[in-house]
């Protein structure tokens, strides 16, 4: 039985920290550069020690050295490059049996040699020689060792480069072992219809005979389509987790390299590995990176097209009965090549759309399992406050709420934390420290009050939940938060006009209060113009072109691969569109301005309260205007046609 030690190394593996008693000496003590440096230093120290003169000597000053020559004590002088050695035949110490040696450092003295000749001193010069062992090491051994190390390093790098070149054709998929994705369908919420479509795939991988006996075939490829953050990758992992089969995960961008043909080689290698692991699932994320349509692609991209062709061939070349299922995900299905979407390849498209209010509540419950919520937190209410949010947004809101609770020193998350987290995601980070002069602050207050009053009296408008003049986000000096009571998929002409009215309410309030307008309505005007243009060109809501869509089509630009929008109507029609947008905006603005003039007392009252408190919640706002939320507006007010 194989056992693991404390460091997780198996006894039958060659680990550096495992049992060493049965290994040869050279395996237990591998040679390293540190050992080489230690040996070299040791040899140098040894050579210096044995190179020293074993004779007894004493270093004396040069003047004393000459004095001992004059006295006749020194009888023989050896002149070297660094020292003069003076030997005597009369040892001063009786226990010494050899002559005593005096050593001195020579100086530039022209009279030294005449002094030796005068006293009859035997003198001679010696050549300064370096130790033979040190010369051998520094002159021969060290250069050879450095050369060998450089040679090995260069060949190792060349080998690594060669292996990298050879590995270009290997796929970069992340292989998750059987049943190890850690995700099941219980971890996926808000996509019930998509789960039902994929349950059939799981059932086929578990019990394929049930389908093969009747002659049925599972779809070869399933394309998950939906906006970013809706959980397409999570669904693919859940399929692999429930089926209990190996899971190959790869991004579309991983196929593409700078060398032509590498992507095709990686596709071949991926499918080759998948066949050996069948039954299994291949998941290709961001399929549009390699599956972009080849229609109207002037110039083209040889590498991407070669990769796409190989993918098409591989999907045609294997039988679904082999147990290899291909899942792919994209948020841009309109740009995929038609050959990918035909039956026999990605013959089933599963829409993973934004969750409704019930789905958002389920997602919030899943992400709230590991956080501590206060008893009075109503996740259904939080779900109603987050229309249009996807699963990734909701997970971020739960995490932001938890961080806010910790920042305020609480041990549980309350409803206020969720509301502030939603505002942070929608409107941006609150900037209480940003200084605004009093005049600009009053302008912002009137602007936001204008939005809120028009929204409160416009039929079909989303109810106001909060008004704030605290700066947030990137340049936003205030905001009016409207929370829909339900998910809407269709809007009437009256409701679209009501949205334009609400957007124009801010600028109208500024002009009524100050007799001038500011740049604060730039974003409001852009959105109002977009709505009016869509009403005329897309929805057929104009007098002249009623029930006619004045659409544009994409056409390739000569010499480029990027398309541009080409209109399919006359220049006179474009002039009419511009004039109709201007007429519609001016008419709605005039009505909103007249309405706010009639409600001037409410405008001043709410603005004064907003300047005092900076933030007005829903209940306080409706109390100030003397209305209850949800009460229908009177006829003839903004939003009425």
Give the residue numbers annotated as catalytic, written as ranges.
Answer: 448
Is 24 known as a binding-site position? no
Q: How far apart are CA 373 and CA 379, in angstroms?
A: 10
Q: Which H or E run contains 84?
A: strand 84-88
DSSP summary character for residue 417: H
Is 480 known as a binding-site position? no
For residues 238 and 188, the answer to whether their CB atoms sit within 8 Å is yes
* Burial tier of 322 (Cβ tally within 10 Å: 0-12, 13-18, 19+): middle
Is 485 known as a binding-site position? no
DSSP summary character for residue 122: E
Q: In the numeric block, which tokens belong to residue 590?
A: 């005039």
Residue bearing tokens 């020194």:
74
Q: Which residues, 6 or more positions from 474, have their beta carbon under 8 angstroms from its beta carbon? A: 428
Name 327's bridge partners. 222, 283
Strands (E) in 453-602, as ranges, are: 464-468, 479-482, 552-556, 563-567
For residues 504 and 510, the answer to whether their CB atoms sit within 8 Å is no
Is 230 known as a binding-site position? yes
Cis before 279? omega within 30: yes
Q: How far apart are CA 555 and CA 566, in angstroms?
A: 6
| Residue 324, helix vs strand vs coil | strand
Is 233 known as a binding-site position? yes
Q: Which residues, 6 or more positions from 265, have their beta carbon under 8 angstroms from its beta carbon? A: 168, 169
| Residue 442, helix vs strand vs coil | helix
Is 537 known as a binding-site position? no
Is 447 known as a binding-site position? yes
Q: Which H or E run contains 222?
A: strand 221-225
Q: Which H or E run contains 248?
A: strand 247-251
Q: Which H or E run contains 500?
A: helix 493-514
Is 323 known as a binding-site position? no
Q: In the numeric block, which tokens belong to residue 625?
A: 């205007």
How many whole angstroms from its chain centre is CA 21?
Answer: 47
Is 438 known as a binding-site position? no
Q: How far apart are CA 95 and CA 97, in angstroms?
A: 6
Upper half-sphere CA count for residue 496 (Cβ side, 13 Å): 20
Of 232, 234, 237, the C-alpha closest to 349 is 232
Q: How far apart are CA 327 and CA 252, in angstroms?
A: 12
Is 451 known as a binding-site position? yes
Is 232 known as a binding-site position? yes
* Burial tier of 155 (Cβ tally within 10 Å: 0-12, 13-18, 19+): exposed
How many whole angstroms from its chain centre is CA 498?
Answer: 40
Residue bearing tokens 């041990």:
411
For residues 273 and 241, the answer to whether their CB atoms sit within 8 Å is no
User: DSSP for 84-104?
Assistant: EEEEESS-SSTT--S-EEEEE
| Residue 173, helix vs strand vs coil | coil
For residues 87 and 103, the answer to whether their CB atoms sit within 8 Å is no
The annotated binding site for ATP is made up of: 226-233
The annotated binding site for Zn(2+) is made up of: 447, 451, 524
């Amino acid at each position: 039985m194989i056992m693991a030690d404390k460091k997780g190394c198996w006894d039958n593996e060659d680990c550096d920290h495992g049992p060493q008693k049965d290994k040869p000496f050279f395996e237990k003590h591998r040679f390293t550069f540190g050992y080489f440096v230690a040996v070299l230093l040791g040899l140098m120290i040894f050579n210096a020690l044995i190179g020293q003169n074993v004779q007894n000597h004493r270093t004396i000053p040069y003047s004393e050295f000459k004095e001992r020559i004059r006295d006749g004590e020194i009888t023989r002088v050896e002149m070297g490059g660094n020292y003069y050695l003076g030997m005597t035949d009369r040892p001063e110490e009786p226990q010494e049996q050899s002559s005593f040696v005096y050593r001195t450092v020579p100086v530039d003295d022209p009279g030294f040699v005449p002094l030796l000749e005068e006293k009859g001193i035997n003198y001679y010069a010696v050549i300064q020689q370096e130790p033979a062992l040190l010369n051998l090491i520094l002159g021969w051994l060290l250069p050879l060792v450095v050369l060998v190390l450089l040679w090995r390093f260069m060949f190792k790098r060349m080998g690594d480069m060669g292996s990298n070149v050879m590995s270009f054709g290997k796929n970069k998929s992340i292989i998750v072992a059987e049943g190890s994705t850690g995700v099941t369908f219980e971890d996926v919420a808000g996509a019930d219809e998509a789960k039902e479509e994929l349950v059939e795939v799981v059932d086929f991988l578990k019990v394929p005979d049930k389908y093969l006996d009747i002659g049925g075939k599972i779809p070869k490829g399933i394309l998950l389509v939906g906006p970013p953050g809706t959980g397409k990758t999570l669904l693919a992992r859940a399929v692999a987790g429930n089926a209990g089969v190996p899971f190959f995960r790869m991004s579309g961008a991983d196929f593409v390299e700078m060398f032509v043909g590498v992507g095709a080689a990686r596709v071949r290698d991926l499918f080759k590995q998948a066949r050996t692991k069948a039954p299994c699932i291949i998941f290709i994320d961001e399929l549009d990176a390699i599956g972009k349509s080849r229609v109207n692609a002037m110039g083209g991209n040889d590498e991407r097209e070669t990769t796409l062709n190989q993918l098409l061939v591989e999907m045609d070349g294997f039988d679904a009965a082999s147990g290899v299922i291909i899942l792919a995900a994209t948020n841009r299905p309109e740009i995929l090549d038609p050959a990918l979407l035909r039956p026999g390849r990605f013959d089933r498209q599963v829409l993973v759309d934004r969750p409704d209010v019930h789905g958002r509540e389920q997602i919030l419950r899943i992400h709230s399992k590991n956080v501590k919520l206060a008893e009075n937190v109503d996740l259904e209410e939080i779900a109603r406050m987050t229309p249009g949010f996807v699963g990734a947004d909701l997970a971020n809101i739960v995490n932001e709420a938890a961080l806010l609770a910790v920042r305020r020193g609480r041990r549980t998350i309350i409803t206020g934390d969720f509301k502030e987290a939603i505002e942070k995601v929608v409107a941006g980070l609150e900037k209480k420290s940003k200084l605004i002069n009093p005049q600009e602050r009053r302008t912002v207050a009137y602007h936001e009050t204008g939005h809120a009053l028009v929204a409160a009296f416009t039929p079909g408008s989303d109810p106001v939940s909060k008004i704030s003049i605290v700066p947030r986000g990137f340049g936003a000096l205030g905001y009016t938060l409207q929370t829909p009571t339900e998910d809407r998929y269709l809007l009437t002409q009256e409701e679209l006009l009501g949205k334009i009215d609400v957007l124009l309410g801010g600028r109208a309030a500024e002009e009524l209060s100050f007799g001038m307008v500011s740049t604060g309505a730039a974003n409001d005007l852009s959105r109002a113009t977009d709505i009016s243009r869509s009403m005329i060109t897309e929805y057929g809501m104009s007098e002249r072109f009623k029930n006619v869509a004045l659409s544009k089509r994409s056409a390739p630009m000569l010499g480029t691969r990027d398309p541009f929008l080409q209109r399919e109507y006359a220049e006179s029609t474009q002039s009419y569109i511009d004039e109709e947008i201007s007429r519609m905006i001016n008419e709605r603005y005039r009505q909103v301005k007249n309405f706010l003039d009639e409600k001037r007392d409410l405008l001043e009252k709410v603005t004064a309260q907003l300047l005092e408190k900076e933030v007005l919640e829903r209940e306080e706002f409706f109390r100030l205007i003397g209305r209850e939320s949800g009460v229908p507006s009177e006829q003839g007010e903004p939003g009425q046609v």
